[in-house]
Amino acid sequence: MKYKLIAPIIALGFMTSCETADFICNRAQSLYEAADYAAAVPLYKQAAERGHVEAQLMLGKCYDFGHGVKENSTEAVRWYRQAAEAGHVGAQNNLAACYYSGAGVPVSMTQALYWYNKAAAQDNAVAYNNLGLHYLNGEGVPQNKEIAAQYFAKAAEHGDANGQYNLGKCYTMGIGVAQDEQQGKLWVGKAAAQGHKNAALFMRDNNWK
């Protein structure tokens, strides 16, 4: 009978471990949202070391922005990578941004595009917008303004303010799409309504209301 109880006991212990990681991460998140970063960091680390992907992302952010710890881009990349490889879309975007800017890793447009494409494969608006910028500027890919506008449209349709602003500018100036000021005004206006400062300035400069 003792041997028969081994499997259920192991399973129960595994479930408790998972629940504890969730609990720790949730507590850390409450502290982080209250701006008590110093208290949040060790809790995020506990959960992150147990494989909790949201905690890994947040610990990466803490190192990235110096919240509760000394800013350390290398450590930020370490934790972003763990969460990104586990499929966390936010971590994939952040890791891509690190490769783009060279924060904690050597600059690599190839790696930036790799991770943005991973996030885009999960239908992520931020990734769509950033892929649009890569194609617009020819960074790591041949410049293609039509493809750029298509990515901006995907981001915009998902409600991303940056995507809406960029799509609006494309329509206003005829970049990758037929010039259409009304469509430009529509999309820039949507971005401005979300508090996008550059969109608001663009509307003011064009005397749009």
Residues 87-104: pLDDT tens digits?
999 999 999 999 999 999
Task: Please check the confidence at residue 15 and state whether its pLDDT lies above 70.
Answer: no
Mean pLDDT of the chain: 92
The pair of structure tokens assigned to 206 is 């064009």
Any idea of the CA torsion for 2, 6, 7, 10, to the nearest 10 degrees?
Answer: 150
Residue with tokens 């809406």: 164
The pLDDT score that the predictor gives to residue 19 is 60
Confidence (pTM): 0.87
3-state secondary structure 171-193: HHHCCCCCCCHHHHHHHHHHHHH
Single-letter amino acid code for the residue at 58: M
**3-state percent breakdown (helix, strand, coil) of the chain, nearest 5:** 75, 0, 25
C-alpha distance from residue 19 to each of 41, 86, 185 (Å) = 19, 18, 48
